[in-house]
Structures are given as structure tokens and as C-alpha cells.
Amino acid sequence: MSYILGIDQGGTKTYAAIMGSDGNILSARRTVGCYFREKDIGLDKAADIIFAAADEAMRDAGISTDDIGVVVAGITGIDFEGDDDMVGAVLAKRYTNKTLIVSNDCEIAYFGGSVKPVGAVLCAGTGINSAFFAPDGRTFVMGDYLKSDLQGGGAISQRAIEAVFDADLGALPETGLTKLFLSLSNETRVPDLLKRYMTDEDFSRQIISLVPQIVACAEDGDEVTLNLLSSFSDELVARFIAAMDKMDMRESNCDIVLTGGVFEGAENCLTAMIIERLSQCAENANIIKAAFAPVAGACVRGHIRNNGQYDEPFVRNLTESARKNGLLR
């Protein structure tokens, strides 16, 4: 049996998984993340982290590099034309004579929910990204087109703390968000919270941890938070639909896959808002939440590239083995 090596490298973690042609994921390994564009990192260091995770996954699976037929790597930072070839050239030094597919990590996330050739994925976690697979074979990654105030949980938490300051100023009604942020900061007054936010970089990064509570605040009926999430959803979906139009996909009978921390777990009001707006704007699309982690999606992409069947026995094996390896969403 020829095996597939799936790789998912993000800024916080790197995953490697081994899958057989029957859909069974034999092993999955997680290690530190890496962003090859950061100063003092570069491609060689990022590749070394990938190789280490992949070697451990192969040892766990009881196979060697010679047994690998396809390598699919989703790498954060592959954002511009030619980036895939640049990263692929480094990976090819280790994985010679293999089918090698290299792309932005958002692309492999699509295959964690769909194998349709035409479709799109919205990945929403700390940041946000989308990938689009057009009817004519074009692929588009939206990432850096999105403004900072739309970048996932980070943007939501920033909008929320700014709403606290607006409420204290009198520009917005009182909001339950004030209590949330004061509690996180251990401050008792909004002016002290403002000073902390403006002068303490560690604290300004910590506020993203409040995203679940921010969403819960909206679900409790807080008017300011509901309006904040509604505005975020409107602006995000408007740009997502613009990209669908750019790729001539608006009328396509395609899948839109939702994945990432924002969409995980029980459906919340933010997820419901985004789904509602997408459904209104892309009436022919099937909106689904990803069933598998992106590294499993990488393996599935390799299987499809190998002309493998995505049939009931394959999906059953994939689901059972993904659950065992903690890759089920």
C-alpha cells in the first residue's frame, strides 16, 4: 500500500498524519507551529519542523519515507503567486519522487468538509482566511485582502474592547462587555483598563481569550455585542461573496465549508449569523461545517489527487481513525 503524508503547518502548531488508501489514518503527530516569513525563521527552519513531525508520524505508523506516495502540505504564509513553488522546492529535497501538493493551509481545510471540485472554505480562528476553487480550475486565497478588523477572533476581541471604551465615553449604551474586560484585567475602572490595553502588549494579546464569552454575551441579549457581531458578520460575508463573484462562483451548486475555532462546538449566534447571510447571498450553495481537522483534509486531498474513491467504506474508516487520533471536528 502506498501511503499519504498530510502536513498542516500554522503559526501555533504543525501537524503530520499518515493515511492509507483505505482511509485509515494510522498516526498523527503535533509539534510547534512556525511562520516561515517571520524574521529569523525562514523556510529551512519551517521545513525542519515539518520533517521532524512527519518522521515521528511515520515511525508511529511503522513505515518509512519510501512507503509514501503522496505528500500534501498546507503551509501558512503561502499567500502569493509562486510561494507554493518556493516552499515545494524545499520540501522536495526530502520527498523526492513523490507526488507533492503544496498550498496555503486554508486550502487543505476545505477537504476536511468536502471533496467537490467547486467550492469554498471559510477558516475562522485567531485570524481568518478563505480559499475558493472555481469551476474553471482557478484557485484563490483571500487572506491578505481582508482588513485587520475582520481577522477572526482577534478582530472580534478588539472590536469588543473598543465598544467598552465607547460605552464609557457615552457613544454606546452600557454593555455587559465592560464587566468581561474589567474581570480579565483585574481593573475596577474603564480608564485603568484603557491604560492597560494601550501600554501592556501582553494584555492586548490576551483579550482574544474572551471571544467565547463575547459571543455568550450576545446570546444573553446584550444589544451592543449583538450589533458588534452582526456588523462583523455583514462585513465578512460581503467580502466572501465578492470573492465568489470574482471567481464566477455565486450561482454554483457548491459547498461552502466552515472550519476553525469560531465554528467548533455547538452552533452559536455568530455562526448562525454568518450562515444566514451566506445562505441569502449564495442561494445554491450547501453550507456545512468541517467534519475533520485540516491535516486530515490534507490526506483526503492526496487521496482524491490519486484518483481514490471517496465512498462509504473510505469515509467510515476515515471517521473512525480520525476520532482515534483526535482529528474529528
pLDDT > 70: percent of the chain:
100
Q: What domains are defined for the chain?
A: 3-113+291-324 (3.30.420.40), 114-289 (3.30.420.40)
pLDDT per residue over 15-67, tens digit each? 999 999 999 999 999 999 999 998 889 999 999 999 999 999 999 999 999 99
Query: Residue 169's closest CA among 187, 190, 186?
Result: 190
Q: What does each C-alpha distance from 10 to 15, 34, 50 come to in angstroms? A: 9, 6, 11
CA distance 20 to 3: 5
Indicate the pLDDT class of residue 296, thresholds 50, 70 and 90: very high
Q: The whole model's pTM is what?
A: 0.93
Mean pLDDT of the region 121-130:
91
Structure confidence at residue 262 (pLDDT)? 85
**For residue 1, pLDDT beyond 80:** no
Q: Is residue 266 over pLDDT 80?
A: no
Rounded mean pLDDT, 192-210: 96
| C-alpha cell recorded at residue 97 | 519522487
Beta bridge partners of 133: 119, 139
Q: What is the mean pLDDT of residues 118-124?
A: 96
Per-residue model confidence (pLDDT) at position 261 = 85
Yes or no: say if 217 and 210 are a contact pair by the CB < 8 Å rule: no
Spatial distance between the Cα atoms of 102 and 104, rounded to a whole number of angstroms: 7
DSSP letter string over 268-323? -HHHHHHHHHHHHH-TT-EEEE-SB-HHHHHHHHHHHHTT----HHHHHHHHHHHH
pLDDT given for residue 144 in this prediction: 87
Q: In this predicted structure, what is the pLDDT of residue 125?
A: 85
Buried b (16+ CB within 10 A) or exposed e, 156-184: bbbbbbebbbebbeeebeebbbbebbbeb
Mean pLDDT of the chain: 95
- Using CA atoms, how far residue 277 sits from 19, 216, 233, 284, in Å, is 36, 20, 8, 13
* Residue 126 pLDDT > 90: no
pLDDT at 40: 85
Q: What are the Cα distances from residue 260, in Å, to 24, 109, 123, 124?
A: 23, 9, 5, 5
**Cell numbers representing residue 209 in the block:** 481569550
Condensed to tens digits (0 to 9), the pLDDT of residues 207-242 reads: 999 999 999 999 999 999 999 999 999 999 999 999
Nearest Cα residue to 80 out of 176, 170, 145: 145
Taking the CB of residue 284, how many other CB atoms lie within 10 A of it? Answer: 10
